[in-house]
Amino acid sequence: MAGELLVYGSYGYTGELITDAATERGLDPTVAGRDAAAVEQQATELGLAHRVFGLDYPGVVCDAVADADAVLNCAGPFAATTEPLVRACLATGTDYLDLTGELDVIEWVAERDREAERAGVSLLPGVGFDVAATDCLAAYLESQLRSATRLTLAIDGFGSASPGTMKSMIRGLPRGGAVRRNGVVTDVPPAWRTREFDFGDGPALAATVPWGDVSSAYYTTGIPNIDVYAAMPRAAVRALRWSAPLLPLFAAGPVQSALTAVVDAAVSGPTDRERAKGTVRIHGEVADDAGNRVAARLATPDPYDLTTETAVAAAERTLSGDAPDGFGTPASAFGADFVLDVDGVRRLVTDAERAPAAR
């Protein structure tokens, strides 16, 4: 495989897992980020090339990525890092991938589709757990019911979070909730709707969340109405709903800074042992206006282990020229079975109802 992979944010919790895996597979990534000491230490320990640069000056970013064939951005929150890296990649003809699960970030990248096609650049956000796993399930379900007009995804099993994940969640607090209606992202209150889903061991309560699949699944499937749920205790649902009047407060700079400081001081991410025990279950269903419905379930390893596998695999395929030019999602670029290549991932059709006229 030819080509240089630059991993930005390589020394963060998830970036380190990905860099180690990429190195073991012979990709010899270039490690990069704004923290000189962290980058240099990592590069020395792994015997890798390195670059130190921040994202404040476009010319600096362009110079830093120009020699790379692909950039894999692991530095969240992605609302702060995606735009400068994408713009530099478009200017230099460098393919771009990231781990974002942030709805607004994916929407912004999708708007660069034509520009990326003209530049001969692949833009692939969401190659980590969210949204790669759910995106592949959505694509599979749409393939089983081409007439689908409604898609529902529900996720259960999140454990400890990394600092980057927590910071992305803090950055997204002011949004509240979001769903897609008639093809348009629509803001709704936090925990707007609740439903019970059977993830394999009986009913579990879940509430709507404004996760990246509200964006990515639409571009993958074309289904115009999308709801995404996360399993949570009833007390958490109540807390989210009570938080609605406080959303403007969460947007204030001092509040964001204070919450981020707490994360830096208290969050380190799950241990190897915790990840080894972690599993996630995803329920997906599609339905059309005639009453046809198909449901399936996906079981995966811990989100961070899955992210490591899917991100490195996506980078390998992109460097090999398998990713089409323009904006794409994991499933639109690599197919609905992309996630099934990861050890421990299982997909099961759980229900298929056909309207009388369709039988």
Q: Domain holding 243: CATH number?
A: 3.30.360.10
Nearest CA to 8 out of 109, 95, 93, 98 is that of: 98
The reply to whether 82 and 171 lie within a common domain is no
Whether the CB-CB separation of 211 and 167 falls below 8 Å is answered with no
Q: 43 lies in which domain range?
A: 5-127+305-335
Distance CA 126, CA 17 (A): 16
The reply to whether 153 and 175 lie within a common domain is yes
DSSP secondary structure of 143-210? HH-TT--EEEEEEE------HHHHHHHHHHGGG-EEEEETTEEEEE-TT--EEEEESSSSEEEEEE--
The reply to whether 144 and 289 lie within a common domain is yes
pLDDT tens-digit series, residues 81-112: 999 999 999 999 999 999 999 999 999 999 99
The reply to whether 89 and 102 lie within a common domain is yes
The reply to whether 13 and 42 lie within a common domain is yes
Q: Is the pLDDT of residue 164 over 70?
A: no
Percent residues over pLDDT 90 in the chain: 76
The reply to whether 309 and 351 lie within a common domain is no
The token pair at 43 is 């590069």
The reply to whether 167 and 294 lie within a common domain is yes
The reply to whether 190 and 58 lie within a common domain is no
Percent residues over pLDDT 70 in the chain: 87
Nearest CA to 100 out of 338, 327, 346 is that of: 327
Tell me how many domains the chain contains.
2
The reply to whether 325 and 350 lie within a common domain is no
Q: Is the pLDDT of residue 71 over 60?
A: yes
The reply to whether 169 and 72 lie within a common domain is no
Res. 355 pLDDT band, cuts 50 70 90:
low
Nearest CA to 16 out of 172, 219, 186, 163 is that of: 163
The reply to whether 98 and 227 lie within a common domain is no
The reply to whether 83 and 52 lie within a common domain is yes
